[in-house]
Structure 1
Amino acid sequence: MANQNEILNSSKAPEPVGLYPHACKVGNLLFLSGVGPRERGTKKIPGVELDEAGNITSYDIETQCRSVFQNVKYILEDAGSSWDKLVDVTVFLTNMKADFATYNRIYAEYFKDNQPCRTTVEISSLPTPIAIELKCIATI
């Protein structure tokens, strides 16, 4: 029996900023595209202040982390999975030195009962003015 890929989009998570789905189901695995902290239906980014040119003037990594985790939950639930079924999480931070300790503390709150594999990397920027993005794999 061949695996059939099923494209899935959440009605609650923010709209993708490019041509990609929120998730793709392959067999009993769910692969999530990169998920940031934006809110659905708006360009508002929780915890981010921008100047008139769209440059970040300040940001709150804790607010962004909590928003990203909520968006991941939306996608998982809309796809028939759940937070406790996450098996792998890749985290992209734009400022490891300033943000890792806060992110790591919040991560521990959300993942105390389920501990998926995790990789955290620092990158220079993301496509929108955000400081964190998650890439996840879960089971269904």
Structure 2
Amino acid sequence: MNFKEIKELISILDQSSLTEINIENKGSKITLKKEKEIITQQVTAASVQPVPQASPVSGVTAAADTNDTATDTDNLKTINAPMVGTFYKAPSPEESPYVKVGDKVTADTTVCILEAMKLFNEIQAEVNGEIVEILVEDGQMVEYGQALFKVK
């Protein structure tokens, strides 16, 4: 490959949601990677405002009880999809999943694979904690920024 072709590949990678490109051509091999941006969200009970709903029978507005004590969801983080792709919980159907509920993870723990355009991208946790919930099914399409795991 010449410099111009490599520069074009870099531009394509930069403008796409892909995180890695592997090319083999006439005995030469090139791998291009870019840093992943993981967006984590924390939802607290105080930040969610209840929406009053009208009762269909009497027309009276009902409000949610706002005096509830905070739940365990206050300190949960999410691991979100850094790209659009197909979610796989294991490297292959015959192997065990990367993580399951109750597993401890560190920032560099691989938690799943996202496949995009026949490229398989290993996704790291980017947070430390314990997996408390897996939010997507194996083989499910996921969107950019979609929550994949809840971590405590």
Q: What's the TM-score, normalizing by structure 1?
A: 0.31
Larger Rg: 2
Q: What's the TM-score, normalizing by structure 2?
A: 0.29
In terms of fraction of residues, the more strand-rich structure is 2
Structure possessing the higher relative contact order (Cα contacts under 8 Å, 6 or more residues apart): 1
